[in-house]
Amino acid sequence: MSKTLLAVACLAAFAALQTSAQAGCPPEYKERTPFQVVADLRAATGAQDWDLVACNYSRRAFVIDDQGILVGREDIVAAAQSLAMLFNGVSPTILQEDNYRDVVREIYRLDAGWVVIPDGVRTFHIRKGKIRRQTSHGLIEFTGPPPE
């Protein structure tokens, strides 16, 4: 096989991998505004649809949070699943949401009864309908024993 044909075959295989990584993601997601991306992420997280949560992040996304840096969709989704378990699926109440160009900032409160985040803040950098970078901060306060 010639070097040119080998290069073409490699590029085709890479493109197929890229496409399969997005399989199941709504094609219209590429056209969303930053506010729509964040709203869709909240809805997918609230529904615990982890495949759809992953669709909101670019392949090379990373999140900087209070525990460190999460790199890639798998780590980001795993952290979201852990938080959903900790908070018994309770969704945050958005207190304020701002947008400047490709960045959305939200201030939120989350109260699951025995555990609370009174002062959460997240920022999202969004391009082409996908979250590329995110920061997240929220002091978790335990207000009682966990439910049995």
| CATH (domain of 138) | 3.10.450.50
Look at residue 23 in the predicted model and tell me its pLDDT: 63
pLDDT over 70 (residue 17): no
73 close to 59: Cβ distance less than 8 angstroms:
yes
pTM for the whole structure:
0.81
Asked if the structure places residue 97 within a domain, the reply is yes
pLDDT over 90 (residue 1): no
119-143 confidence digits (pLDDT tens) = 999 999 999 999 999 999 999 999 9
Domain that holds residue 68: 28-142
Instruction: Look at 18 and 90; give whichever has higher pLDDT.
Output: 90
Q: How many whole angstroms separate alpha carbon 12 and alpha carbon 16?
A: 6
Asked if the structure places residue 7 within a domain, the reply is no
Look at residue 63 in the predicted model and tell me its pLDDT: 98
Asked if the structure places residue 59 within a domain, the reply is yes
Asked if the structure places residue 88 within a domain, the reply is yes
Mean pLDDT of the region 74-84: 95
Asked if the structure places residue 11 within a domain, the reply is no
Asked if the structure places residue 92 within a domain, the reply is yes
Mean pLDDT of the region 105-112: 96
Q: How many whole angstroms separate alpha carbon 81 and alpha carbon 87?
A: 10
Asked if the structure places residue 123 within a domain, the reply is yes
pLDDT, the chain, mean: 87
Q: Could you give the percent of the chain with pLDDT greater than 90?
A: 77
Look at residue 34 in the predicted model and tell me its pLDDT: 97
Query: How many separate domains does the chain show?
Result: 1
Asked if the structure places residue 33 within a domain, the reply is yes
